[in-house]
Every structure is written in C-alpha cells, then in structure tokens.
Amino acid sequence: MIRVAVYDDNKHRRESLQAFISLSSELKHAGSFENCANILQDVAATFPDIILMDIEMPVVNGLQGVKLVKKQYPHIKIIMQTAFDDDDKIFAALQAGAEGYILKQLPLFKLPKALMKL
C-alpha cells in the first residue's frame, strides 16, 4: 500500500481526498494538513511515500514545501494539485523536484494507478 499525505488549505478538498484515498485498495491515507508550516515534522510523523501538494496555501505554500521535503527526503514523490494548468508555479515546483501535477477539476479515478507507476 502506498502511503499518501495531502496538503491543501481547502478543508472540503482535504476531506474528499482523504475519503478517496481511504476507499482505494492501493492507497493508504497518511495524513492531511492545511499548509506546509510544519511539513518536515509532519513527514517525520506520517512517513508518506507520496504527497499530494496544493500550490497556494497560507503561511508556507506548496512550492516552499516541495523544496523543504526534497532537500531532506528526496525519495518522497510529490504530485502538485492545481486549478490552473498554465500556472508558472507548477513549472517552478517541477523544477524544484516535484514528479508531476494533477488538475483539481479532473476526476480522480485514474489517480491510484498513476501513483503506483511513480
């Protein structure tokens, strides 16, 4: 089972992603967090294999989160979540080491298989 952590400032999105991950036979929910303010402690406590990372979050955003995690835990895969496919920040996140991105408005049913291939 792949352990997945979710970073998103939208409470609704965190709840639905948690439900989705929990119901998937291939994935296990490692934890959900509203921003990256304590990301290194979060990761140390929850041992995720993959992080689903929002970009725009208050206090410490997703881009800063990618840099922090990749510096200390380069083996953890990070998938950015975005509402905009033309966002410069996605490319910045990919440059910082994120493995890919998903659009929030697209259905998630293919996500578990895609995550398994990472």
Partner 1 sequence: MELKSKLNWKTFRTTQIQISGIENAALKKEAKVLKLSINEIKQNRRINNLWFAFIILILLLVSAGLLWYLYHQKQKLRVTNLKSKISRDLHDDIGASLSSIHIFGDLATSVWDTKPQQSKEMVNKITMQSKDLMERMSDIVWSLKPPGDEQNSLTIKFRNFSHDFLAARGIKTLFDIDEKLAAIIENPLVRTNLLLIAKEAMNNIAKYSGADQVVISLRKEKEEVIFSITDNGKGFDRPLTNNGNGLHNIEQRCSQLKGSCLINTFPGKGVTIICRFPVAIISHTD
Which residues of the chain form contacts with partner 1 (CB under 8 A)?
8, 10, 12-13, 15-17, 19-20, 23, 54, 56, 58-59, 83-84, 104-105, 107-109
In the bound complex, what is the minimum distance in angstroms from residue 82's beta carbon to partner 1?
Answer: 9
Least spacing, CB of residue 101 vs partner 1, in Å: 14
**Cα–Cα distances in Å, from 31 out to 6, 74, 89, 94?**
6, 19, 24, 23
Residue 55 beta carbon to partner 1: minimum distance, rounded to whole angstroms: 9
Neighbours of 87 (CB within 10 A): 15
